[in-house]
């Protein structure tokens, strides 16, 4: 259902508020450079700091700006199942193509609890759902067996897998239908996961280098594996540097350096250290990203 380089888009702010004009420009920049889809209100979009009203506004702006040219997978997860249902219901009403739902953070539910959580949302809202597993941010890992069981529900269509565990990733790919959409949630594993059978990536790096990330996918699926590997290693320093501090701090800083957005974060996130800022600037310069 979904494939290629899909951007987990940042949420630009200006004077503490959503900068809707900047967000529209970012969407256009992505589509112009070949991005296969857009995820608003994910981790990279600072979703944990958005009010319900802001969350809805970000989804609305991205949907309007994209105009149906690429799929929009709205982040609608929460550590409160009822809130996840409310947000997912809004995404459906607004016209999103799917919802990306993170495992509940902080609560640390059991695997049984994870199944009950996702089933509750899927039962309440008839929209394609992409599971999101990122244990480094949530404190809980969704196992391959749990993903396989959830994949049997008709509207759970894929997973953004960011455990970094290739054994788990192989188990997911082996134990789910070929129709189930496995997407890398880790830019560094984008190329390796394509080789294993994944359909693409939901990417932080695509915020800064959308054309190159799209080219990597296109090269791979056209059989140009050596070319895809070349792009992977050319982007490797950027893949590392965009996580030198907590995501999305480096990505938003890079976009500000490129003149795309104002360099503004919502607390508790803050600006980069001077040392890391210099490292980021050097990497961008080497890749000729302005």
Q: Annotated active-site positions, please?
A: 132, 160
Residue 70: closest CA among 191, 206, 231: 206
Cα–Cα distance for residue pair 118/129, rounded to 1 Å: 9
Burial class (CB within 10 angstroms; exposed 0-12, middle 13-18, buried 19+) of 106: exposed
CB-facing half-sphere around the CA of 153: CA atoms within 13 A:
25
Residue 29: closest CA among 253, 290, 260: 260
Please compute Rg for the chain using Cα positions: 18
Cα–Cα distance for residue pair 116/132, rounded to 1 Å: 15
Q: What is the dihedral of CA 44, 144, 6, 77, to 10 degrees?
A: -40
Q: At what angle do helices 81-94 and 111-124 cross, to 10 degrees?
A: 30
CA distances from 50 to 215, 219, 228 (A): 32, 37, 36
Chain-centroid distance of CA 270 in Å reads: 21
């Amino acid at each position: 259902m979904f494939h290629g380089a899909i951007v987990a888009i940042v949420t630009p702010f200006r004077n503490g508020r959503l900068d809707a004009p900047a967000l529209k420009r970012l969407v256009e920049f992505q589509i112009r450079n070949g991005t296969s889809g857009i995820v608003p209100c994910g981790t990279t979009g600072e979703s944990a700091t958005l009010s319900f009203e802001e969350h809805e506004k970000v989804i609305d702006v991205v949907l309007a700006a994209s105009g149906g040219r690429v799929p929009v997978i709205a982040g609608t997860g929460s550590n409160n199942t009822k809130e996840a249902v409310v947000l997912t219901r809004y995404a459906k009403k607004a016209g999103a193509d799917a919802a990306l739902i993170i495992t509940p953070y902080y609560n640390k539910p059991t695997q049984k609890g994870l199944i009950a959580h996702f089933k509750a949302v899927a039962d309440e809202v008839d929209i394609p759902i992409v599971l999101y597993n990122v244990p480094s941010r949530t404190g809980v890992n969704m196992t391959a067996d749990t993903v396989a069981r959830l994949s049997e529900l008709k509207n759970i269509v894929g997973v953004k897998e960011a455990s970094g565990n290739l054994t788990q990733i192989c188990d997911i790919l082996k134990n789910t239908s070929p129709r189930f959409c496995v997407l890398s949630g880790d830019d560094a594993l984008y190329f390796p996961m394509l080789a294993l059978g994944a359909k693409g990536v939901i990417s932080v790096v695509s915020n800064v280098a959308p054309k190159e990330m799209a080219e990597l996918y296109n090269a791979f699926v056209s059989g140009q594996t050596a070319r895809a590997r070349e792009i992977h290693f050319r982007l490797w320093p950027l893949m590392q540097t965009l996580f030198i501090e907590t995501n999305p701090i480096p990505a938003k800083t890079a976009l500000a350096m490129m003149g795309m957005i104002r360099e503004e974060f919502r607390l508790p996130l803050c600006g980069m250290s001077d040392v890391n800022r210099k490292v980021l600037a050097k990497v961008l310069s080497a890749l000729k990203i302005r």
